Amino acid sequence: MTTKRDYYEVLGVSKNASPDELKAAYRKMALQHHPDRNQNDKASEEKFKEINEAYEVLSTPEKRSGYDQFGHAGARGGMGGEGFQGFEGFGEAFSDLFGDLFGGGSGGRGRGSRRGGADLKYEHVVSLHDAFNGVDASIRLERPIPCSVCSGSGAKPATSARVCSQCGGAGQVRLSRGFLSMAQTCPRCSGEGRVLESPCAACHGRGRTRSTETIKVRIPPGVEDGTTLRVSGSGEAGERGAPSGDLYVVVRVEEDARFERDGADLLTDKNISIPMAVLGGETEVPTVDATLTLRVPPGTASGTLLRLRGSGMPRLRGSGRGDLLVRIRVDIPSKLSKEQRQMFAQLAKSLGDSGVSDEEGFIKKVFGK
């Protein structure tokens, strides 16, 4: 009589192994010794049975407790004195671990072969003004939609699909390979559990036809370039009543010559005169939706950034608006009248600019001419 090996040794785990560790060890070894991968290999078949027996006991708390206390006799007691009865009694655990890896598990119930509709991607371009205010975009798409003749069922009007005679509506058939019993997708109904005796002539039984439609999509205020909007159920229709896919709209925001954008903040340039830069003053600057008055402090250098809070773009996520940053550019006149030259020369002398000896020298120093 052959002595049974220790179940923990069979699976290569310690006696305090967790359920997850047991499952991982079993999966690895079962894949290695599965009969489908080792056809006509008697040793692998026996090893596979041994692995299944060990996991069947150790994965069940009551049986594992009996085995830990009394060894194999305790495990047999936990199994009602019958011992391990082969893979048939282990099918549920095996299906839970491997699913359809070797041709489908026992938990499938048809309907899985009707393909859901594919998702669609579309790029839509908006101006900065539309991105500021938000806009209702009209997107024209050619896509499969539910057949209007059969309402998406795929069956000829006044008829309906019938229960598959081969699988009885289960969508799967069970096959036996030696000691293995496995479920596979029914070849007659392709896993749907029902067959069309009279397919719809308009869609040839697919339940959908192609059509060009216009879809309204709301572009929210503050949308940024590259933002993706999801429109649920507006992708391709599924086959014979299967769910439709989704439409993903990628928004592209056109560049605006007046502004640079950084999230909800905007940057614009503003040219001012030398007197305003020196003395300060007020000037008008544009925003996306209005014109505002900007206060320029005395002594503002070219390149200075002045901020108008809350005058940028709406925040896409959250409330309020970003800021408008105004970059000051001081205009240097290229041509001056004689009177203006004299005034600049007098200004230079009053400021104690010893490097300027006369008005012509001042002009050359300041303006490079």
Q: What is the CA radius of gyration of the chain?
A: 39
Report if residue 305 sits inside a domain: yes
DSSP 259-286: -EEETTEEEEEEEE-HHHHHH-EEEEEE
- For β-strands 120-126 and 172-177, DSSP reports them as unpaired
For position 104, what pLDDT does the model report?
A: 43
- Out of 39, 64, 98, pick the residue that ends a domain: 98
192-243 pLDDT tens trace:
788 888 899 999 888 889 999 999 999 999 999 999 999 999 999 988 878 8
For position 139, what pLDDT does the model report?
A: 92
Whether 213 and 325 share a structural domain: no
Spans in the chain with pLDDT lower than 50: 1, 78-93, 95-96, 99-112, 367-369
Report if residue 138 sits inside a domain: yes
Whether 303 and 209 share a structural domain: no
Whether 132 and 214 share a structural domain: yes
Which strand (E) or helix (H) includes residue 323?
A: none
Q: In this structure, what token pair is assigned to residue 47?
A: 């090893």
**Residue 103 CB partners (closer than 8 Å, separation 6+):** 175, 182, 183, 184
For position 83, what pLDDT does the model report?
A: 41
Whether 218 and 136 share a structural domain: yes
- Could you give the number of structural domains in the chain? 4
Whether 47 and 147 share a structural domain: no
Whether 181 and 237 share a structural domain: yes
- Out of 37, 65, 98, pick the residue that ends a domain: 98
Whether 132 and 225 share a structural domain: yes
For position 214, what pLDDT does the model report?
A: 92
| Euclidean distance between CA atoms 325 and 267, whole angstroms | 5
For position 358, what pLDDT does the model report?
A: 55
Alpha helices in 210-337 (DSSP H): 274-279
- Out of 192, 221, 253, pick the residue that ends a domain: 253
- Separation in Å, CA 314 to CA 75, 90, 133, 220, 254: 69, 61, 8, 10, 16
Distance from the first to the final alpha carbon of the chain: 113
For position 182, what pLDDT does the model report?
A: 75
Whether 323 and 295 share a structural domain: yes
Whether 124 and 187 share a structural domain: yes
- For β-strands 265-272 and 228-231, DSSP reports them as unpaired
Whether 199 and 149 share a structural domain: yes
Three-state DSSP class for residue 179: coil
Report if residue 320 sits inside a domain: yes
Report if residue 114 sits inside a domain: no
233-274 pLDDT tens trace:
999 998 887 888 999 999 999 999 999 999 999 999 999 999
Report if residue 359 sits inside a domain: yes
For position 242, what pLDDT does the model report?
A: 81
What CATH number does residue 41 fall under? 1.10.287.110
Whether 87 and 175 share a structural domain: no
For position 85, what pLDDT does the model report?
A: 41
Whether 359 and 326 share a structural domain: no
Domain limits for position 74: 7-98
SS percent in the chain: helix, strand, coil, step 5: 30, 25, 45
Alpha helices in the chain (DSSP H): 7-11, 19-33, 42-58, 61-70, 72-78, 91-98, 128-133, 274-279, 338-350, 359-367
Three-state DSSP class for residue 364: helix
For position 348, what pLDDT does the model report?
A: 81
What CATH number does residue 164 fall under? 2.10.230.10
Three-state DSSP class for residue 108: coil
Spell 274-300 as b/e; 16+ CB within 10 A means b: eebbeeebebebebbeeeeebebeeeb
What CATH number does residue 299 fall under? 2.60.260.20
